[in-house]
Structure 1
């Protein structure tokens, strides 16, 4: 169970949408979270990798280096 507080204007929009479509507010909140959660996960994971790269903990390779290592270079 999760309880959240929304600004009144967002609550009103959500209520109107639910009433106009016959769906519940919970349905739309769940849909919005599911849609956005993957983007947030990608963003935060990318930021972690960027920190590791900048601190020297993780190495990067150019496309040419990867192609050469895999024997794909011309």
Structure 2
């Protein structure tokens, strides 16, 4: 269970959207959180991979291609 405090403006927008579409506020809040979590997880994964690359921990493309059987 999670309780979230929203500004009056955001709450009003959420209520209006729910009323206009016949969906619940919970439906839209859950969808928004899930979408944003996906974006955040992608961002932090990319950040980790960039750090690995800069630190020299990245796998060279040629080695990866060989490992996957994609050699030309």
| Correspondence 1:4 to 2:4 | yes
Evaluate the alpha carbon distance shift between residue 58 and residue 7 of structure 1 in structure 2; reply closer, same or farther with a 3 A threshold: same
Structure 2 unaligned regions, length at least 5: none
How far 1:31 moved relative to its partner?
Answer: 1.2
Q: What residue is the counterpart of 1:58 in the other structure?
A: 58
When the two structures are aligned, how many residues end up with a matched partner? 69
TM-score normalised by L of structure 1 = 0.72
Structure 1 unaligned regions, length at least 5: none
Moved more, 10-19 or 33-42: 33-42
Pairwise CA RMSD of aligned residues? 2.3
